[in-house]
Amino acid sequence: MRVLGIETSCDETGVALYDTDHGLLADALYSQVAMHADYGGVVPELASRDHTRKLLPLIQQVLDEAGLARSDLDGIAYTAGPGLVGALMVGASTAHGLARALDIPALGIHHMEGHLLAPMLEDEPPGFPFVALLVSGGHTQLVEVDGLGRYRLLGESVDDAAGEAFDKTAKMLELAYPGGPEVARLAEQGNPRRFRFPRPMTDRPGLDFSFSGLKTHTLTTANNLRDVGELDDQGRADIARAFEDAVVDTLVIKCRRALDQTGLKRLVVAGGVSANKRLRERLAIEVGKRGARAFYPRGRFCTDNGAMIAYVGAQRLLAGERDDSAMKAVPRWPLEGLMPP
């Protein structure tokens, strides 16, 4: 089965073609970062307009790369949520329009399920069951995964997610948008011994996260340095390092607890923050101590992309799922509400 995947949940237009017999055939991604950078964040109306402008050309690009025509498609998967409703509707309406014209099924896919299963696109995918740490945009979650659609939420952020905290810290330090990668780059120049920030909710049992207090602590430290004229380049770098170390330590501690609690030996880490170099280094040590193994998507599949949507869509379409005549766009959609196909 050849499935076209469409991702338009936020500020990246992703398209990919997945074949259930031959794997990923082609993928393309257009980022809106340069457009939104002037505003310091995503402007939903501009995002929707840009998806409209880029989506059909990207679909044609992917088909050309794979050497296929639209008539060769067997199904279309698209991100139905969560995300920006206008952006979601661009992908949903395009998918349903094409599917109806080609008389093939369309299926709305959960964005976070895409991230969760993105490592399945790699040469050595994880087997079920496993624990997954999802750190993407506004989501920080630990999930026990027993199979496609069989998810049990172990813990999640009760306020700011890790990615949001990275972006807000970047603004405090007057860094460019998008902020997360900029904080990580600046942290490489920081002194790890100058500041030690709190590791939130690690001094109590449980697997939930909270990064709002850490964000406030970071702001207070930055303001204190500014008051004494020490918020220079090195001061910003030292704050970035202390912040990153605190986030990484918190995520690692919670992953360690989740593996111990479930007794599982496989950990999937996915979403934008999963590309963080320090997080990967620390997790390699911790999972190794437990005789476990960590799995990640390749770099370009850590952030939003069409390949993860095409993969999940192919698995669910192959099992007989499909949308009814109505397209689906769900800005808020709990992952644990999904069902097996």
**Domain locations along the chain:** 2-117+301-337, 128-296
Query: Would you say 235 is a known binding-site residue?
Result: no
Statement: residue 336 has pLDDT above 90: no
Looking at domain 128-296, which CATH architecture does it have?
Answer: 2-Layer Sandwich (3.30)
Q: Name the pLDDT band for 38 (thresholds 50, 70, 90).
A: confident
Mean pLDDT of 127-135: 97
| CATH superfamily, region 2-117+301-337 | ATPase, nucleotide binding domain (3.30.420.40)
Statement: residue 210 has pLDDT above 80: yes
Query: Would you say 136 is a known binding-site residue?
Result: yes
Predicted pLDDT at 40: 85
Distance CA 35, CA 11 (A): 9
- The pTM assigned to this predicted structure is 0.96
Query: Would you say 304 is a known binding-site residue?
Result: yes
Residues 6 or more apart whose Cβ sits within 8 Å of residue 17:
2, 3, 4, 5, 24, 25, 26, 27, 62, 63, 66, 68, 310
Query: Would you say 180 is a known binding-site residue?
Result: yes
Burial 263-285 (b: 16+ CB within 10 A, else e): ebebbbbbbbbbbbebbeebbee
Query: Would you say 135 is a known binding-site residue?
Result: yes
Statement: residue 136 has pLDDT above 90: no
Query: Would you say 276 is a known binding-site residue?
Result: yes
**Are the folds of 2-117+301-337 and 128-296 the same?**
yes
Query: Would you say 138 is a known binding-site residue?
Result: yes
Query: Would you say 115 is a known binding-site residue?
Result: yes
